[in-house]
């Protein structure tokens, strides 16, 4: 089969890998876009957007990109910091006074961005009626106590990240993250990405489909992971080994991992994350709907200094935390909201020095590399369920880096 779209001859290997994934049944529908020094060199798509209707994946087909959203939300906050509206090193309570209860008065905004606040999970189950009421959800978190001493450890705030940072943005701008994205990031640059999809965008969005259920989801979105495999089926050397502890947590519905990944739970709605309520709500940790070209274009514009000042981006991508993750157990690494190369953000060796970005549940990827002038976006609708997440994006990125030779 031959994928639709364009691919610079220098990047022929990328097309080969993309088409191979379809030939091997690893994809249902997918798209991959790459910019090199601001110029488009790869823009490929193929497959079906909906396996039930066999609606084809088109050039402008968007899809929910799960936690790729976090980098976008971080950027929206960094914009406000550039303008002097918020001090990232200052306490959250300076802009959100209700937050300063139950031992949270010293939590800084930087702690939120680096997953160090100790608030990775909601204590109370969020009802469906609140799914589009982000200030109310944020107020629930504001009443909680940290699970660990803020600033002493990091653990992936899979869903709470967005409600926390989103409320900070709302307090200093009077707008939701989605409104800031539309007015200040995506809209002016005509980027095909939305945080809170309009009806017409939601109508043509690809429908997510579960992949191989013999594995488990990576730590990049909502829905939880319990019950997919038993502990004995996972690799690991026993208690204390990260893979063993991760698999054990996945099998325990009450584990911190499952509580962090599964509340609020989109699966309370028919169709789960495909439901219009989820696409419309624009949860700031996992609600972005985007095309691969729009996601790659976001990183292209970041690298060009068109969204943030170059010095802001350089500081934001500086590694702040790294090592064993209190929620995911595997090593993770973060700058100010952006992932850095680690086991949870696998990057080809050539990108290890400067690459940054974010993965999304099931395998989606947004990546920028100022050292090589690369911006990439990968979106798909067949969600990977493997222990370490999908390697589809990694192999595509590897082919991109190899093509630079």
80-102 residue pLDDT tens? 999 999 999 999 999 999 999 99
pLDDT at position 237 over 90: no
CB 11 within 8 A of CB 40: no
Residue 48 domain flag:
no
Q: How far apart are CA 215 and CA 204, in angstroms?
A: 29
- Parallel, antiparallel, or unpaired: how do β-strands 209-210 and 382-383 relate? parallel
Residue 251, in any domain of the structure: yes
- Tens digits of residue pLDDT in 14-30: 999 999 999 999 999 99
| Residue 236 confidence (pLDDT) | 56
In a domain, 26, yes or no: no
DSSP 337-376: S-B-SBTTB---GGGTTT-EEEE-TTS-EEEEETTTTEEE
**pLDDT: is 115 or 361 the higher one?**
115
pLDDT at 213: 39
Q: Is 380 helix (H, G, I), strand (E, B) or coil?
A: strand
The answer to whether position 40 is within a domain reads no
Query: DSSP string of 239-301?
Result: TT-HHHHHHHHHT-TTSHHHHHHSSS-GGGSTTGGGSHHHHHH--TTT-EEE-HHHHHHHHHH
Three-point CA angle 370, 375, 378, nearest 5°: 145
Distance CA 280, CA 197 (A): 5
Which among 10, 64, 12, 65 has a CA at the least distance from the CA of 36? 10
For position 204, what pLDDT does the model report?
A: 96
Using 50, 70 and 90 to split pLDDT, how confident is the model at 249?
Answer: confident
Q: Is residue 309 part of a domain?
A: yes
Indicate whether 133 pLDDT > 60: yes
Whether 294 shows a pLDDT value over 50: the answer reads yes
Beta-strand runs (E) in 19-157: 29-36, 39-50, 55-56, 63-64
Q: What pLDDT shows up at residue 245?
A: 84
Given a cut of 60, whether residue 331 has pLDDT beyond it is yes
Indicate whether 33 belongs to any domain.
no
Cis peptide before 154 (omega within 30 of 0): no
Question: What is the number of structural domains in the chain?
Answer: 1
CATH number, domain with residue 196: 3.40.710.10
Would residue 196 count as lying in a domain?
Answer: yes
Write out pLDDT tens, residues 255-264: 999 999 999 9
| Residue range(s) defining the domain that contains residue 140 | 56-403
Give residue-wise pLDDT tens across range 149-160.
999 999 999 999
115, 321 Cβ separation under 8 angstroms:
yes
Yes or no: say if 32 and 377 are a contact pair by the CB < 8 Å rule: yes
256, 106 Cβ separation under 8 angstroms: no
CA atoms lying within 13 Å on the CB side of residue 70: 34
The region of weakest confidence among 68-77, 233-242, 255-264, 361-370 is: 233-242
Instruction: Provide the 8-state DSSP code for 108.
Output: B
The answer to whether residue 35 is domain-embedded is no
């Amino acid at each position: 089969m031959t994928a639709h779209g364009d691919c610079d001859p220098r990047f022929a290997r990328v097309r080969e890998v993309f088409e191979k994934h379809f030939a091997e049944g690893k994809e249902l529908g997918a798209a991959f876009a790459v910019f090199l020094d601001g110029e488009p060199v790869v823009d490929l798509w193929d497959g079906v957007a909906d396996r039930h209707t066999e609606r084809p994946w088109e050039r402008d087909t968007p899809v929910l990109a799960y936690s790729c959203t976090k980098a976008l939300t971080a950027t929206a906050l960094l914009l406000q910091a550039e303008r002097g509206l918020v001090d990232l090193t200052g306490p959250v309570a300076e802009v959100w006074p209700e937050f300063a209860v139950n031992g949270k008065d010293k939590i800084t905004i930087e702690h939120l961005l680096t997953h160090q606040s100790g608030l990775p999970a909601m204590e109370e189950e969020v009802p469906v009626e609140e799914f589009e009421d982000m200030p109310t959800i944020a107020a629930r978190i504001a009443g909680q106590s940290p699970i660990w001493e803020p600033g002493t450890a990091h653990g992936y705030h899979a869903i709470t990240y967005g409600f926390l940072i989103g409320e900070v943005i709302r307090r200093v701008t009077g707008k939701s993250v989605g409104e800031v994205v539309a007015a200040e990031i995506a809209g002016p640059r005509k980027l095909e990405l939305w945080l809170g999809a309009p009806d017409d965008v939601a109508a043509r969005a690809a429908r997510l489909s579960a992949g191989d259920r013999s594995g488990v989801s990576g730590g990049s979105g909502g829905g939880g992971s319990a019950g997919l495999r038993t502990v004995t089926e996972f690799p690991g050397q026993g208690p204390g080994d990260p893979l063993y502890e991760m698999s054990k947590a996945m099998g325990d519905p009450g584990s911190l991992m499952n509580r962090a990944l599964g509340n609020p739970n989109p699966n309370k709605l028919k169709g789960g994350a495909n439901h219009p309520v989820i696409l419309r709500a624009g949860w700031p940790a996992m609600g972005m709907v985007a095309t691969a070209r729009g996601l790659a274009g976001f990183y292209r514009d970041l690298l060009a200094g068109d969204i943030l000042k170059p010095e802001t981006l350089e500081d934001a991508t500086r590694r702040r935390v790294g090592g064993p993750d209190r929620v995911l157990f595997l090593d993770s690494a973060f700058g100010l909201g952006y992932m850095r190369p680690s086991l949870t953000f696998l990057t080809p060796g050539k990108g290890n020095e400067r690459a940054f970005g974010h993965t999304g549940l099931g395998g989606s990827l947004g990546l920028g590399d100022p050292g090589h002038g690369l911006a990439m976006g990968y979106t798909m609708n067949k969600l990977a369920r493997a222990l370490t997440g999908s390697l589809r994006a990694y192999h595509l990125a590897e082919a991109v880096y190899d093509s630079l030779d």
